[in-house]
Structure 1
Amino acid sequence: MPDALWTADEIAEAVGGQVAGDFAVSGVSIDTRTVEPGDLFVPLVGVRDGHDFVPQAVANGAAGVLAARAVDAPAVMVADTFKALEALGVAARERAPQCKRGAVTGSVGKTSVTRAIEAGLRLAGKAHASVKSYNNHIGVPLTLARMPRDTERAVFEVGMNHAGEIVPLSGFVRPHAVAITTVGPVHIENFSDGEAGVARAKAEILAGLQPGGIAVLNADNHWFDFLKGEAEKVGATVWSFGEAAGATARLTGFQVEGAGATVSVDLRGEALTFPIHQTGVHWGPNSLCVLLMLEALDVPRETALAALAAFAPIEGRGAEKTIRIPGGAFTLVDESYNANPVSMQAALKTLGARKVAGRRVVALTDMLELGEGSAQFHAELAEPIAAANVDAVFLAGVHMKSLWEALPPTRRGGYAEVAEKLTSVLAGAVQPGDVVMVKGSNGSKAGVLAAALAALDLGEQG
């Protein structure tokens, strides 16, 4: 395999293991459901022992196994497969010294911003990035281990639920540039001091920053001064984005036009206007964050702008679909992948700003991990719902009961304790001309509502 990602000998040297059968691999997988021919299968030990699935991985085409116990397949034998995966990730980083690496974290928007940065990196040359939201203690080293040796630029998403989780991940990536999209009340039930703890945890991404690296920070966020101070402690150069005076990239305009928008910015004193393939108001600052990160990773500006112009909303994160029903069609805005108070308000503001032929309708499920303030966070959504002139509100989840009680009867469309029990009511209520936004935390199954609406499409039915 001339273009092998790893040979058995290289893996053994990287992880301190012993070769038991020669092989070469073109990819790395930890899940038999996603194993592709030529992959290295890494059986991790968790609720189930991944070694039990080695026969299935081999049947699916795995070329070799990183194993901690005897397996009936070519393997590199190690004491601990998780530690070996981490070591393989570090080795991948070290064998590609030419690679400029970026890392992205934040309470809101990190996946979409990472994907948009990736789009720019791929236009610029040989690029590598996290797939899906592989941003935790397994996903980050796995993404590194998959990085080809000739990669020129890479971007990694880095997430957390608790303090101390980002420090080792930043240490694995050793980024040349980092972005903190924003800090808000997300996962705050895991922090005794609430949002301040979240801010400190997000600042951990600076721990692995290369000497003289760049930190791209949100100038409009009320934690900006704290994060700027933390960045300066590690010797980082701070670039900022947002509407605040003095921002490196200062947003001066955001105009929605059809399926896209035009962004105006003062970039270090230079006036710049460019199109993006997004309509969400949060994509004003997001696009500036992407622009600065691409600059930090040596992507030419024209390449960065071309990537932003073409980058479309991701499934579950603002992607739109026209759903044909008897009498016409309605627009489904699928924001079902995740939700927190910050992203909910941004999505509602976007909905309120768009022109609609019919009604503005929202279907919302619980925001999770908000701790003792959860009832208040949910009830307070009544105000942005009113400001957005939403006509009908459908809610699912025990936490959303607080919002239901805060809504005037004229806006109440339907409520259920679980998403599955709301689908028929919601599906029966939509009308031609409506714009229907579905949003909620992944764990509260907002996706069930989006799927039920998508299934109404007469064009998709046989």
Structure 2
Amino acid sequence: MTEPLWTSDEIALATGGTPSAAFAVTGVAFDSREVTPGDLFIAMKGEATDGHRFVGKAFDQGAAGAIVSEAVDRPHVAVTDSAKALDALGRASRARMQGKVVGVTGSVGKTGTKEALFLSLDRANPGTVHRSVKSYNNHVGVPLSLARMPRESSHGLFEMGMNHAGELAALTRLVRPHVAIVTAIAPAHIEFFGSETAIAQAKAEIFEGLEPGGTAIIPYDSPHVATLYGKAERHAARILTFGFGDGADVRATEAVPAASGGTLVTARLPEAELCFTVAAPGEHWVSNALAVLACVEALGGDLAAAGLALAEMPGLAGRGERRMVQVAGGQALLIDESYNANPLSMAATLKQLGREDAARRIAVLGGMRELGGQSADLHAGLAVPLRAGNIDYAILVGDEMAPLADALDGAIAYDHVPDAATATQRLRDSMRAGDAILVKGSNGIGLSRLVAALNARARDGEDG
């Protein structure tokens, strides 16, 4: 019989709470809509709502117990503060786990790198690798992901994000990674930092939580490599750099387009050389793959298995998933990058769009959020990669895109529209067989709805 994730006595010991009855759980959730049979429901009080209102719903959906700070008539552990109890449960989960833990942060590439690393390690350790799901990378998502980690896990992989200084330091001390990765530095959330250097300093906080003997993995080609390296030296027993430059410890010595649409890579590591394919196209995915190999190397893992996993990695919804959709006269390629955007990731994906073998290249670009006083300049700066990528037509979505519309000044054909709904109609009216269409923007712009509408069209077999 499979051992439960938590018993009520273990929950009480971890949180300092008082159990009302004996129970055992197989999962953890704090959103009643996500509760599945056997889960522990954590009733948390937020600014907008109170989870205690949904305790009944959680048990109706099969919850086996709850953590509460108010009286309920269901099996529970009573605590004074449910949020602090979640942190405590996360710490207890980390303390009992005897495997290796990896923390991943960066301005771009966090989720993709985490997922590629999961596939790489799971291939050699099937069924024993745990990772955070979705983008659960904040002060609530990280302890939840920790609390969900089975005690017998061989590896735990945790994505960590931040938009203010000090946040990452708190998260990494919860996670206590053996390996900490910074994927890249870009002006994401620059509204809260003022400069990329300040962002690099905040991302480098991840090294503060490294376990003794731990490894820091940093991007060699970043202009902020010295800042990251300096911080890593104070906390890491080993530092590995990855990238394309001659001095990188894990370096792509060759990267050429593969027949499958990805990239065939030859990589040199400190004690090995590996030839492999990265299924997802683009230099940014090669960079992510090099970070993965550096981590597998640091963990003493199976590099050959990692190479096979990278070759088979499927696209991630919102982060590069590629799908053919039906249009008038045939099909068009839809590249879904709708989950997030900043200047670095915009430039990388536009560069890759320019390499697509297509009758026309169309970019649907939503505004980039949290850029502060630099927003206008950074949006206008996208004119350079748009021109360099040989983009035939652009649909610019949202008020933030006005500076880019001005900067293009007729250099390429474009429409500037107010919202995702208008963009969807404009794209439907214009796309045709043979097009390659990139959809990218900050999540708040809502371009995922455009992608969903086109994917529904593909499922229905509608011919435009």
The equivalent of 1:85 in structure 2 is: 86
> Does the 8 A contact of 1:102 with 1:297 survive in 2?
no
Specify the code of the residue in structure 2 equivalent to 1:114: K
Report deviation, 1:2: 4.8
The equivalent of 1:425 in structure 2 is: 426
Unmatched tracts of structure 2, length 5 or more:
none
The equivalent of 1:10 in structure 2 is: 10
Residue correspondences, number: 459
> Does the 8 A contact of 2:207 with 2:236 survive in 1?
no
Write the deviation string for residues 5-63 of structure 1: whole angstroms up to 9, x where unpaired: 11111111111111101110000000111100000000111021101100000000000
Q: TM-score, normalised by structure 1?
A: 0.96
The equivalent of 1:318 in structure 2 is: 320
Write the deviation string for residues 62-93 of structure 1: whole angstroms up to 9, x where unpaired: 00001111112100111111111111111111
The equivalent of 2:187 in structure 1 is: 185
Q: Partners of 1:116 and 1:272 in 2: how far apart? A: 16
Q: Partners of 1:239 and 1:182 in 2: how far apart? A: 14
SS in 2 for 1:296: helix
> Does the 8 A contact of 2:387 with 2:411 survive in 1?
no
Mapping 1:294-305, distance limit 5 Å: 294-305=296-307
Specify the code of the residue in structure 2 equivalent to 1:295: E
Q: Partners of 2:444 and 2:63 in 1: how far apart? A: 32
| Residues 1:99 and 1:323: Cα distance change in structure 2 (over 3 Å) | same
> Does the 8 A contact of 2:216 with 2:236 survive in 1?
no
Write the deviation string for residues 388-433 of structure 1: whole angstroms up to 9, x where unpaired: 1000011111011111111143623321122222221111000110
Write the deviation string for residues 223-280 of structure 1: whole angstroms up to 9, x where unpaired: 0011111100124311001112211111122222233221122223754321121112
> Does the 8 A contact of 2:25 with 2:64 survive in 1?
yes
Q: Which residue, 265, 270, 274 being the options, matches 1:263?
A: 265
Specify the code of the residue in structure 2 equivalent to 1:130: S
Specify the code of the residue in structure 2 equivalent to 1:436: I
The equivalent of 1:38 in structure 2 is: 38
Mapping 1:324-363, distance limit 5 Å: 324-356=326-358, 358-363=359-364
Write the deviation string for residues 173-203 of structure 1: whole angstroms up to 9, x where unpaired: 1000010001111100001x42121111101
The equivalent of 1:68 in structure 2 is: 69
SS in 2 for 1:210: coil
Specify the code of the residue in structure 1 equivalent to 2:165: A
Specify the code of the residue in structure 1 equivalent to 2:246: A
| Residues 1:105 and 1:237: Cα distance change in structure 2 (over 3 Å) | same
Q: TM-score, normalised by structure 2?
A: 0.96
Moved over 4 A (4+): none
Question: Is 2:282 the partner of 1:284?
Answer: no
Report deviation, 1:281: 1.9
Q: Partners of 1:318 and 1:235 in 2: how far apart? A: 32
The equivalent of 1:163 in structure 2 is: 165
Q: Partners of 1:219 and 1:422 in 2: how far apart? A: 38
Q: Which moved more, 1:332-341 or 1:306-315?
A: 306-315
Write the deviation string for residues 120-176 of structure 1: whole angstroms up to 9, x where unpaired: 222222111000000000011111111111111111000001111011110011000
The equivalent of 2:203 in structure 1 is: 202
Write the deviation string for residues 355-405 of structure 1: whole angstroms up to 9, x where unpaired: 22x101100010000111111111111111111100001111101111111
Q: Partners of 1:18 and 1:397 in 2: how far apart? A: 51
| Residues 1:8 and 1:458: Cα distance change in structure 2 (over 3 Å) | closer
Q: Partners of 2:389 and 2:89 in 1: how far apart? A: 49
Q: Partners of 2:365 and 2:58 in 1: how far apart? A: 39
Specify the code of the residue in structure 1 equivalent to 2:142: V
Report deviation, 1:324: 1.5
> Does the 8 A contact of 1:321 with 1:333 survive in 2?
yes
Write the deviation string for residues 301-320 of structure 1: whole angstroms up to 9, x where unpaired: 12211221211220111111
SS in 1 for 2:416: strand
Question: Is 2:229 the partner of 1:228?
Answer: yes
Mapping 1:243-262, distance limit 5 Å: 243-257=244-258, 258-262=260-264
SS in 1 for 2:84: helix
The equivalent of 2:440 in structure 1 is: 439
The equivalent of 2:451 in structure 1 is: 450
Report deviation, 1:461: 4.7
Q: Partners of 1:283 and 1:354 in 2: how far apart? A: 15
Q: Partners of 1:129 and 1:270 in 2: how far apart? A: 27
> Does the 8 A contact of 1:242 with 1:288 survive in 2?
yes
Q: Partners of 1:458 and 1:74 in 2: how far apart? A: 44
Specify the code of the residue in structure 1 equivalent to 2:5: L
| Residues 1:270 and 1:17: Cα distance change in structure 2 (over 3 Å) | closer
Specify the code of the residue in structure 2 equivalent to 1:109: G
Specify the code of the residue in structure 2 equivalent to 1:388: G
> Does the 8 A contact of 1:336 with 1:446 survive in 2?
yes
Unmatched tracts of structure 1, length 5 or more:
none
Q: Partners of 1:374 and 1:269 in 2: how far apart? A: 44
> Does the 8 A contact of 2:188 with 2:371 survive in 1?
yes
> Does the 8 A contact of 1:32 with 1:53 survive in 2?
yes
Question: Is 2:153 the partner of 1:151?
Answer: yes
Specify the code of the residue in structure 2 equivalent to 1:140: V
The equivalent of 2:374 in structure 1 is: 373
SS in 1 for 2:239: strand
| Residues 1:270 and 1:295: Cα distance change in structure 2 (over 3 Å) | closer
